[in-house]
Structure 1
Amino acid sequence: MPDPTPTEYHTMLLTDHIGRYLLRIPYQKTKNIYEIESLKHDFSGIISYRNILRDVLLEGVDIQWGKKCVGYEESDDGVWALFEDGTREFGDLLIGADGINSPIRKQKVPNLETFDPGVINVTVDVAIPKNLANQLLSIYSNSLIQQSIGKNGDFHFSFFRLIPVDKFDEPTYRTTLCYIYPTRYDIKDNISIDDNDPESVIKHTILRIRQLRPPCELTDLLIELFSLVPFSHLEEKYPFRTYIPPRRRQLLDIDPLSVSPWKNDRIVLLGDAAHATNPLLGLGANNVLQDADLLTKELHNCENDDLVECIRRYNEQMRIRSSKDVLESRNLIYKHRESVGNFGLLVRYSIFRITDVFNNIMAFIKFYI
C-alpha cells in the first residue's frame, strides 16, 4: 500500500449542503500502515487502493476465472461447490464470500434477506484534475474523505489519494464519487431512466443534484465532478483497471441478527454475503477483513477443537460485531433521509457539533493520556 504523503490527512470531514463544517474525525498521522497496528485507538487509518489490496490478497492463490458458483451439495466428509458451467469442486470447507446477491447465502439461509432503506446511490470512479482536487481539499480542510449531508435527505461522499495518475501529463487523481438520494423522488416524478445507458444515468444524477442542493460552490463542484464521468472505457489512459458503468442502485444492506442463528457446518458466510453494509460510515470493507482474520484464527484452532465448534465461534462473533455496524450505518440514513426545515437543521448542527467536541475529547485522551 502506498505510504501517506506528508500533505495527506487520511480522515473524514462532514459538511452540510453548502459546505459548512459539521464534524471531523480526529486523526493521528502515521508514516505507514505498520505504525497503525501498534496504536491503542481507532483514530488513524490509510486510504488504500482496492486493486492493490486485491493483488496482495491474491498472491499465491490458485484462481479459476470465468466460473460462477451457483450452489453446493454437502456430504459426510466435505462439500461440493457447484458451478454454472456444470462442473463441481470438492473441499473440506466452502466459504461464501460472493457478495450481497450470494447464491450460497440464499441456499444456506434463505430467510436472511436484503433490506431496502429507501435510498438510491450512484457511485462512480473518475479521474479529477488538480484544480478540482484542490477545491475539494479547500472546502474539506485537506481531509481525503469528504462527505456532505443535504437538507432533502441526500448525501454525497468522495475520497482520493494525493498520488497523481502517471498516465496523464497534468496532475490527476483517481477518485471515487457517490451521490445518494431518497427513492421517493424517482417514484414521485415517475422517472424512466435507462440504467444500461451511462450517459442517461449521469445526466439524471446531475439533475437530482440541481434539484436537491442549493446553488453554491459545493453544488457546482459536485456537478463538475460528475460531468467528468466517462460513458465508456477510455483507451489506455483510463486510470482504473476495470470500467464499471454508472447505474442507479438501491442501497441495500443485510442484518445477520435479523434471523435466528444458522447451522454451524462446512458452509461459511463471509463479508457482504452475510452482512452487506451501506458505505456512509465506511465500515463494509473493515468488517470483511475482520471476518477473514477471525475465521483464520478459529480454523487454526481446529487441531484442538472440532471444525463445527470453530465455525460456531466464528459465526457468533461475526454476527454480533457486523450487525452493530450494519444497523449503525442504516440508522444514519433513517435519521437524515427526510427533508428538514430550518429548525431541523439547527437540531442537526447542534448534534454534530456536540459529537465533534466529544470525539476530540476522546481522541485527546487516547493520544496523550
Structure 2
Amino acid sequence: MQQEKIPTIISGAGLGGLSLYHALIKNKDKKEFNVKIFERETSPTADRWQGYHIGLSYYGARSLLNCVSSSIASNLPKAIPNPIPDVETHGITITDQIGNVLLTLQLNHLKILRYVLLEGVPVQWNKKCIKYVETQEGVWYEKLPELQIVDYGITHISANVSVPQHLMDKANKIHENFLVRKTLGTKEDSTLMMTRLIPIKQEQNDEKSEPHYRVTLVYSYPFELDNVDVESDKVKVDDNDPASVIEHVKRLIRTLRPDCELTDLLIEFWDLIPKTIPNDPIKFPFKTYNPVQ
C-alpha cells in the first residue's frame, strides 16, 4: 500500500524555509511529504534588496549539509565570497566608546546562500500568509498565529545608508578594514556597523563625485534611556517618521557618548540616512556592487 504524502506548507522562502524544504525532500525515503512553499515577495530580486553576510559555526555548517542534497552541497562554495586582499578583513572588531580595540574575531561569511538554496525549489511567489485556522481535521495555514514577544527591555534601531569614501576612510582609521564594527558605551548602549569595502554600483547619471559604500547601522540601548535628559526633552519620537527617529538616535549618542572623533563620526553616519522612505525601490542605492575581482 502506497504511503499517503503528508501535506506540508512552508511560509517564507528565506534561509530557514528553504533549508526545511530541502531537509524534507532529502528524507523522503523515510516519509513522503507534499511540500508547498510560499513567499510574499514577487521574485528573489524584486521588491526590496535585502540580505547580508552571515557567519556559520562548525555545527551550523554540519546541520546545513545534513539538510541539503549532495548537488546543493557542491554549489555552496559559490556562496562564499573571497575577501579582497589587503582591502578588507572578514571579521568583527569591538571597541570602547572612544575607539580603543577590545576584541577582534575572524569570521567566515556566506553572501548568496539564498540563491544557492533556491535551486530546484518550486517557490510560489507573491503569496502572503494572511490567515491561520485550526480545526479538528487539521490546520489551514491562512493566518499568522499569535506571536509570543519577549520584552528584553532593549531598543534596536537599524538603517541602511550610502557612505562616501572620505567618511569610510575616517572609519577605517579607527576600525581598520574589518567588515563588522561594534562599539560599547558605558550606559549599556552599543553601535554596530556592517559593510563591504566594495563600492556601490552607481548609475551613469549619478552626480556623486566619489565612491560610496553600503553600510548597515544599528544603535541599541535600554528602554529606560528614553527618559534620559537630552537637548530637548520635549521632542517626541514618531516611529513612523524616519527623520524623528534619526534625530532621537543622534541626541542619545551626543548625550551618552564622550566628545571624541568616534562620537562625531557616528553622528555623521546617522545624519546620512534618508529622512524619507524612497518611493522607487529600483533606484534604492544599495542594489548591486561594482565587480572588483
Alignment TM-score, normalising by the size of structure 1 = 0.48
List aligned pairs for 1:1-369, cutoff 5 A. Answer: 1=79, 2-6=81-85, 7-25=87-105, 27=106, 44-46=107-109, 48=111, 52-59=112-119, 60-65=121-126, 67-73=128-134, 79-83=139-143, 103-104=144-145, 106=146, 113-167=148-202, 169=208, 170-187=210-227, 192-231=236-275, 232-233=277-278, 235=280, 237-240=283-286
Q: CA deviation at 1:8?
A: 1.5
Larger relative contact order (Cα-Cα within 8 Å, sequence gap ≥ 6): 1
Structure-1 separation of matches of 2:218 and 2:252: 13
Task: Indicate how the Cα distance of structure 1 residues 54 and 72 shifts in structure 2: closer, same or farther if over 3 A, else same.
Answer: farther
Q: CA deviation at 1:56?
A: 4.3
Residues 200 and 211 in structure 2, CA contact (< 8 A), matched pair in contact too = yes
Residues 156 and 180 in structure 1, CA contact (< 8 A), matched pair in contact too = yes
Unpaired segments ≥5 residues, structure 2:
1-78, 288-293
Q: Secondary structure at the match of 2:240?
A: coil
Unpaired segments ≥5 residues, structure 1:
28-43, 84-102, 242-369
Structure-2 separation of matches of 1:53 and 1:175: 20
Structure-2 separation of matches of 1:132 and 1:47: 26
Task: Indicate how the Cα distance of structure 1 residues 162 and 234 shifts in structure 2: closer, same or farther if over 3 A, else same.
Answer: farther
Residues 126 and 228 in structure 1, CA contact (< 8 A), matched pair in contact too = yes
Q: How many residues align?
A: 195
Task: Indicate how the Cα distance of structure 1 residues 188 and 16 shifts in structure 2: closer, same or farther if over 3 A, else same.
Answer: closer
Q: Secondary structure at the match of 1:233?
A: coil
Structure-1 separation of matches of 2:237 and 2:161: 21
Q: CA deviation at 1:239?
A: 2.0
Q: Secondary structure at the match of 2:83?
A: coil
Structure-2 separation of matches of 1:47 and 1:21: 26
Q: CA deviation at 1:188?
A: 5.2
Residues 73 and 82 in structure 1, CA contact (< 8 A), matched pair in contact too = no
Residues 200 and 286 in structure 2, CA contact (< 8 A), matched pair in contact too = no
More helix by share: 1
Instruction: Give the fraction of aligned pairs with identical amino acids, expressed as a percent.
Output: 39
Worse-matched range after superposition: 137-146 or 183-192: 183-192
Alignment TM-score, normalising by the size of structure 2 = 0.60
Structure-2 separation of matches of 1:75 and 1:5: 57
Task: Indicate how the Cα distance of structure 1 residues 61 and 127 shifts in structure 2: closer, same or farther if over 3 A, else same.
Answer: farther
Task: Indicate how the Cα distance of structure 1 residues 162 and 214 shifts in structure 2: closer, same or farther if over 3 A, else same.
Answer: same
Structure-1 separation of matches of 2:248 and 2:110: 29
Structure-1 separation of matches of 2:122 and 2:162: 31
Residues 4 and 46 in structure 1, CA contact (< 8 A), matched pair in contact too = no
Q: Deviations over 1:72-110 (max 9, x none)?
A: 43666x642125xxxxxxxxxxxxxxxxxxx33x3xxx7
